[in-house]
Amino acid sequence: MKLVAFSTSSSPNPKPGALLNDGAVLDLTHPGCGLPALGHDLDACDVEHPFQAAARALLADDAKLSAARSAAALPRDAVTLHAPVPRPGKIFCIGLNYRDHAEEQGAELPERPLIFSKFSSCVLPPGGTIMIPKGSTETDFEAELGVVIGKRASNVRREDAMDYVLGYCNFHDVSARDFQFADGQWQRGKACDTFAPFGEYVATTDEIADPHALGIRLRLNGVTMQDSNTDQLVFGIPALIEDLSTWFTLEPGDVIATGTPPGVGFARKPPVYLKAGDVCEVEIDGLGVLRNTVAAFTD
């Protein structure tokens, strides 16, 4: 299933849908789909909630899907896509987690995951505008594989970790390098408003055979700046979930951004930073394209 969050002109609050093969969006909350009611927005991300199982069964049954489509499908141009988890409870990010990115910087591989966070207020939808914050002249791009948690996880063993994953998405870890390096810690440089675009959809785990063997790319104004593969991850998804769940309880809808490959702007000679008018595209095999424009805050 390709899980999206969408709204329409007559229903402005985001609700869960499924992106169909022809580009239409199936409103999973429509009575024509016959799915269990959601008590909370994040229930749609919970693999233990009956909604998830019923949605997957519906999409796998051609006859039931055909009937639901006639009642509840909307053309792509009739909806506005939001981030597939419009307001995640937590966003964890991992630094220096690609072998080829560490090599690019001449850095030693970390002995354990380097963890930082973003806020839910950082979230930006597909097609939204990344805003360069006031005072920054070194705002950078970072393509990442996002992992969306599908059930409550605490002290999870590595060998069980994938059972806690809902699915995967494109994620863009926008970073104000001048803030990041000047502060001596990463919070301000990583967590400005609009610094967490992700989507367009979450591909559930059955859609992706191996998340550790996906091509990952970022294009800036059509020029490929990053081009690598998730087989370069220092700490794979099971290791990250094991480590994070040791210290923090993970919940449905939480997002883990797993790190970025080489080619980021600050490591280039000369450096390349985002500017107003730029167009960024993150593309990961099987996960579509996340496209965002760039503008600058003005007084």
CB 181 within 8 A of CB 266: no
Domain termination residue (choose one: 61, 82, 103): 82
In terms of domains, do 115 and 58 share one?
Answer: no
Is residue 139 within 8 A of residue 193, CB to CB? The reply is no
- Asked if residue 215 and residue 180 are part of one domain, the reply reads yes
* CATH assignment at residue 222: 3.90.850.10
pLDDT digits (tens, 9 = 90+) for 106-123: 778 889 999 999 999 999
Domain that holds residue 184: 91-296
User: pLDDT (tens digit, 9 = 90+) per residue, 266-298?
Assistant: 999 999 999 999 999 999 999 999 999 999 987
Band of pLDDT at residue 299, cut at 50, 70 and 90: low
Same domain, 139 and 13: no
Identify whether residues 49 and 136 lie together within a single domain. Answer: no
Check if the beta carbon of residue 143 is closer than 8 Å to that of residue 172: yes
Given this model, what pLDDT does residue 91 score?
A: 98
- Do 142 and 287 lie in a common domain? yes
Asked if 274 and 141 touch (Cβ cutoff 8 Å), the reply is: yes
Residue 116: what residue type? F
Q: How confident is the model at residue 187 (pLDDT cuts 50, 70, 90)?
A: very high
Residue 102 has pLDDT above 80, yes or no: no
Q: Of 55, 82, 109, which residue sits at a domain end? A: 82
DSSP calls for 161-192:
GGGGEEEEEEEE--EEHHHHHHHSSSHHHH-S
pLDDT, tens digit, 9 for 90 and up, residues 137-157:
999 999 999 999 999 999 999
What number is the average pLDDT over the span 40-46?
A: 94
One domain for residues 102 and 156 = yes
Annotate 17-79 with DSSP letters as a single string.
EEE-TTS-EEETTSGGG-PPPPSSGGGGG-TTSHHHHHHHHHHH-HHHHHHHHHHHEE-GGG-
Preceding peptide of 200 cis, ω within 30°: yes
pLDDT in tens, 204-249: 999 999 999 999 999 999 999 999 999 999 999 999 999 999 999 9
pLDDT, average across residues 25-34: 97
- Boundary-marking domain end, from 25, 59, 82: 82
Whether residue 100 sits in one domain with residue 73: no
In our burial notation (b when 16+ CB lie closer than 10 A, e otherwise), range 150-184 reads bbebeebeeeebbebbbbbbbbbbbbbbbbbeeee
Query: Do 8 and 130 belong to one domain?
Result: no
Number of domains present in the structure of the chain: 2
- 98 lies in the same domain as 171: yes
Residues 98 and 73 in one domain: no
pTM above 0.95, yes or no: yes
Residue showing tokens 């970072």: 142
Instruction: Name residues whose C-beta falls within 8 Å of residue 52's C-beta, 6 or more positions apart in sequence.
Output: 44, 45, 46, 150, 166
Predicted pLDDT of residue 23: 95
Nearest to 222 by CA among 169, 156, 291, 164: 291
Quote the pLDDT of residue 105: 76
42 with 148, same domain? no
pLDDT given at position 36:
96
Based on the domain organization, do 72 and 119 belong to the same domain? no
